[in-house]
Each structure stands twice: as structure tokens, then as C-alpha cells.
Chains A and B, each alone.
Chain A
Amino acid sequence: MSGSAQAMRWLGAVVCLGALSGCAHASSVGGRHDDCDPSAMPSLGHDPAPFRYTWGEQAGRRVFRFEREPSGTTEVLRSVFSHCCNEGIVLAVGDRGTALVRHPQGGWLHEETGTRENLYAIGRSCPDYAHCTTHIAVGARGTALIREQNGTWRAEQTGVSEDLFAVVHPERGSGRTLAVGAGGVIVARSPTGTWHRVQSHTTADLYGVGLCANHLYAVGAGGTILDCRWDGKDVCIPQLPVVTADLRMLAGVVSGGGVRLTPEVPVRGVPWAPLWAIRQRVADDIHAAAVDPFYRNPVPRIEVGEGGIVRMNIFGGEVHDSVRLSLPFGVTLRGVTMLMSDGFIVGDRGTIVHLAVDGVPKECIVTL
């Protein structure tokens, strides 16, 4: 693709979606992939009465369909992940070693992971970030599982026995992966699959890890925020807590206790000044969030949580809006992912919801 054609497509994306600000933007730009196909996520058509939400009017009208998809399990599903690589594969993991993969025609298929431990998070992990087809799931008692492209899973020894709650594979992480968990445990995986423990200087449980403003942060109980560096020897240094609530990293946004936090510019001459500030008061019922890595989605950011709560930032034309819905499915939602114009949400009792959007102008769903 020529540079000018690519620039035009980027421009088209911006015109359709507008611009986002803050950590989410910095943390979510994942790179360019030529194998993204927005038609790879057709509705399975298994939900006779999907929940619909209509937004906007006339040309800007969007219809959001939340279609339940049979998962074949009643286990709690805790995390779902998708990416353009590997033909838009979507994976979900949950309790008692549950792993599911979505087949565009056949629906969700069970995969044998070889473990009965609860799996709390899934992401990807491979030496080449731009062409990554290997996934990683982490979970209870130091569990780490690698899923190869052919759908086989294998366990790796992390060297720790604490529960691992979150995992990240940063674009500029030199192919390394970081997992965080109970008791302040942090473990790093090298591109060759060896693990080592990273000193965290905390015993607080760590619930989330991710990029925010080009820094890698781990967050957790009691307002814990660690600033991690990967240049040379891995090291994570705790920051001055500004809240006492448990914190989560929700798609690049640190939140908890009903507030969102943003990093502050250091104050010259006051080295001990807080480096985080409370920027926004929010409801404290969100468990997970996702951002479309390419910002080509009418819902560039979506959050899900307790009792079926869904909060969406919607972009249409030059208008954007934030809406909060309560899905009438009666379950708590624990994981979400966005890929092109589709979203996938997972939760309790094996719940999987496909979010499809009708009425999006074709030029707004661009392929780079």
C-alpha cells in the first residue's frame, strides 16, 4: 500500500471516530497488520432475541446488537482476547482450566489446556510482536499456559506458586511478557520461554498490568501502583499511593474505589510529590475494559462489569457519546475485547456475548 493511500485511510479512521485522549490512546496502539479482515466475525445467528441498543439518528444511526453465543460451558469465563493476527482469532479462558476458541462458522469450541486451575487472563506472547500467533494464559498457583497457533496448549514453569491475575506483552518489550499476581508477585517471560521473578518491593496483590503514557504500570490492592522499567534489568518501583482502594488497569486506565487516576507531570524541585492524580469519579462496578487497537470501531472503548453493566464510548460521524447499559442477561461480565467492528464479552455462567454494530458506513471500517 502506498504511503498516501495509507495516510488517507488513517485520516478516514480519524474522521469517523474522532480522537481519544489520555492513557488509553497511548496504551492501545498496537501496530499495523495487513491481515485484518473485518468480515471475519460474522454473527453466529444463535441468539433469537439479541439485546439491541439504537444510538443516533438518520445517517449517524447505529444499532448495537448484543448476541449471546453458546459457549458449551457454565464455568466462569474471566478473560477474552482477540487480535488481527491469526485471522482474527478470539480466545476465552476461565475457571477450572477452561479455554474456548471461536470458529467463525462453528461457534465456540472447547480446547484442552491440561490444567484444572482457574485461568484469570489471556494475552499473547511471542518474540515478534507484529506477527504474533502464540497466546499465553495465566492463572491460579503460578499457572502459565502457552497456546500454539495449532490450538495445542502447554504449561510453563513460572517458578512461583502465587495466583497470577494479569498478563501483558508490550509492543516495545523486546518480546518479553510480564505477569502479576497475589502477594506482589511479578514474573517475566523471555522470548525463549524462560521465566524469572521481578522484584516488586510490595506484598500487595497486583490485579492489573499495562501501558499508560508509555510507562508500564502494575496496579493492585490498597492503591498500589508500580512503575516498571524493562531497560536492562527489570525493576518495578512503587509510587506514592493517592487512594486506598484496590486498583485495576482497565485498558490503559487505572481505576478503583470509584475514581480514575492519571499520571502527573513531575513537579520540579519536589521529588516526593504524588505522581498520580484523581481525574474523574466513576462508578466502581467495572471489571474489564477494551480498546479497539486501531480505532476503527464505532465503540473504540468499552467497559463491562457487575450485573451486566456495559459502558460504551460511541463514535459516529463527528459526534461521540458515552452510554451505560445494563444487559438483561443477569450475569456479571468479567472480560471484553474489541476487534475491528466487533466486540466479545465474557462472564459468569459461561456467558459469551458478541457485540455487532449495524449502520457503520463502510469507509469507517477500514483495513490498513
Chain B
Amino acid sequence: MLLGAAALALAGCGLAPPRATQAPTPPPFAPRWEDPPSRQLELGQPAQGDTRSPDLRITGWRACKHAGYWALDHVYGFEVGETASYRFTLSPQFHGVVQVLEKHPSEPRYFLIGCERAGRGARAEVALPLGPGLYWVVVDGYQRGEAGPYELRVERDTSATAKLRPEDEDQVSALCERAPLLTAGERAHGRFESTPGGARASCGLVGSEVVYRLSLASPRRMRVRASAHFRPVLEIRSGCHAAATTCARAPAGEHDVEIVQELGAGDHFVVLDGMQIEPRSGVDFEPKAYERPLLQGAYIIDTEEVPR
């Protein structure tokens, strides 16, 4: 009755009622967060469906949707095994929305971390860095009753705009040029922020602007130790863009990593990287969350020569 009244009110305001592809009466709308979705989305495997046969009817997520309207949904589970940037692409034959939801850090529910909409025949893309875990991917209609066939796929985001991406050569060259010196017996302090396209250790993940130069007059055996608010990764290279001489990660759950390495005379570059992305806040579709670095925290690097 309320829906009818709403439609009538809209008509009275001179607005056409929402264009609806006919759909059957949907099942109950309340999602059961504890139950994993019956549909599974696999990396690189397109999923096709038709939301005129809905799984759920969900209210409340207004981002990317016509405010206040319900729509019919297909709900997929997407299991992430490896932290990376992923791109979800929805190609709907109706005015559709794709939403990605992450497990709330402290509550028994999922929250919206990204969404996009597309008109009939267009593509909606959502690109997000994701850590390991189960995500819900919802195919939705932009307006109430909007439904139809679609194709949904997820792939690794390897674009130049991915938050997690390989080093940008120019960017890293600039970091090497201004890299401060590490001196044996002294401590370097700083603040780490993940930087897309920044220096990325071969055994690291997020990339950063933390690059130091270690200049040796003669071959030495050196110990380089990093401690940080996060799980640090250390790499030593013989040149700015050279392959890693050595790379080490802190053990899972630890905040310290150490490298002991024989190094030749000359300049070496020490790169600090991270292994994980920080959990999101749990706030539905918080725009600022997308501007924030994926990982940040203070660090120290201690360098010393060790006897051979």
C-alpha cells in the first residue's frame, strides 16, 4: 500500500513512476549475513543472470541508487585469497547497479565499500583493493522494480590507476634521486604511507616513498632492521631499478624485519614496503576512505655493520 501511495505521489508531482520490468513478488528482503551467498563469483569467470528472478530484496543502500527505492538483487560471494586490486564489471540489460560489500570489522554484517551504476547496454565498473576474505557482490536495479539480464565479472585490476600496482619508473627514479643516506650505527625515523606506483619491494605489496641510499666504500656485511606500526617488508637493491639483492618480510603479526647481507662497494637502495592493507572503517561507502592511504604508520630503520 505504501509503495502504491509512493507511486501515486510521484505521478501527482508530474514524475513518471519508475520504469519497471515486470518481476515476481520477491522473497523477504532482510539479508542473513551469517549465510554465505549461494552464488559464487570466480576471478575471470563471467557470471550471467537475470534479476527478474531475485535472490533477495534489500533496502537501505542508497549509494549509486535512486534514493529510497527498493530493487531486486542477485547476491554473489567473492572469495579473495590474495591482496590485490580487483575490478568488478557489470553489463546490465537494464538500469543496474553493482555494489561490493566487505565484512564489518566488529559487527556481524557487511558494509558497502564501492558501487557504480550503468544504463541499459552500458558497463558499470568498481575497482577496489581487497585483502583476503569473503566479499558480497550485489547486482541491483537503480530504481524500484528495475530488473533484467546482466553479465558480471571480476578481474585483477592491472590498470595505471589501480591502487595496488607495479612501480612507476619515473616515480621511483625521483625517489632514488632524493633518497637520504642510511648510516651504520644510526637510526632513520619516518612515516610510511602506501603510494601507488611508488617503490615496491619484490616481496612486498603496497609500494611507498620510503627509499634510502646505503653507500659503502668497500664490501661489507650489513644488518638492516626495520620496525613499524605495520608488518614491514625490506628490500635491498644494487641500483634504483635493479632486481632485488635481497627481500624480507616480517612474519605475520609481527612488526620487525631484519636483513643481514653481504653487500659490495657502491650505492645500494633500501626500500621499505608493506604487506597488507588496513581494514576499512566499517562506515558504508565513506568517500574519504578512498582517499586514505591503504597502509600508513611510523617506522624506524636501524643499520649496522656486522663482523664477517
Residues of A within 8 A of B (CB): 199, 201, 227, 229, 232-233, 235, 237-240, 266, 268-269, 271-273, 275
Contacts A237-B228, A269-B209 given; does A229 touch B297 at CB 8 Å? yes
State the CA gap A70–B180 with chains docked (Å): 59
Closest A residue to B228 using CB positions? A237
Chain B residues with CB below 8 A from A229, complex form: 229, 297
Q: Is the CB of B193 within 8 A of A235?
A: no
As a 0/1 sequence over residues 175 to 219 of chain B, the CB contacts with chain A under 8 angstroms (1 = contact) are 000001000000111111100000000000000111000000000
Contacts A201-B300, A272-B190, A275-B191 given; does A237 touch B208 at CB 8 Å? no
The secondary-structure label for the interface of chain A is loop
Q: Is the CB of B255 within 8 A of A272?
A: no
Q: Is the CB of B229 within 8 A of A227?
A: yes
CB of B108 within 8 A of chain A?
no
CB of B299 within 8 A of chain A?
yes
The secondary-structure label for the interface of chain B is strand
- Residue A239 contacts which of B210, B254, B256, B298 (CB distance < 8 angstroms)? B298
A257: min CB distance to chain B, Å:
19
- Residue A237 contacts which of B210, B227, B254 (CB distance < 8 angstroms)? B227
State the CA gap A150–B297 with chains docked (Å): 42
Contacts A240-B189, A269-B209, A271-B210 given; does A235 touch B300 at CB 8 Å? no
B204: min CB distance to chain A, Å:
15
B192: min CB distance to chain A, Å:
6
Among the interface residues A199, A237, A266, which one has the most CB atoms of the partner chain B within 10 A? A237
CB of B253 within 8 A of chain A?
yes
Chain A residues with CB below 8 A from B300, complex form: 201, 237-238
State the CA gap A32–B28 with chains docked (Å): 40
Q: Is the CB of A271 within 8 A of B229?
A: no
Chain B residues with CB below 8 A from A240, complex form: 189-190
Among the interface residues A232, A235, A271, which one has the most CB atoms of the partner chain B within 10 A? A271
Chain B residues with CB below 8 A from A239, complex form: 189, 298
Closest B residue to A215 using CB positions? B298
- Residues of B234-260 at the interface with A, using a CB-CB cut-off of 8 Å, are 253-256
A-B pairs with beta carbons under 8 Å apart, 26 shown: A199-B227, A199-B256, A201-B227, A229-B229, A235-B227, A235-B229, A237-B228, A237-B299, A237-B300, A238-B187, A238-B189, A238-B300, A266-B193, A269-B209, A271-B190, A271-B191, A271-B193, A271-B208, A271-B209, A271-B210, A272-B180, A272-B188, A272-B189, A272-B190, A273-B190, A275-B298
State the CA gap A232–B276 with chains docked (Å): 13
State the CA gap A199–B191 with chains docked (Å): 18
Chain A residues with CB below 8 A from B191, complex form: 266, 271, 273, 275
B69: min CB distance to chain A, Å:
31
State the CA gap A133–B146 with chains docked (Å): 57
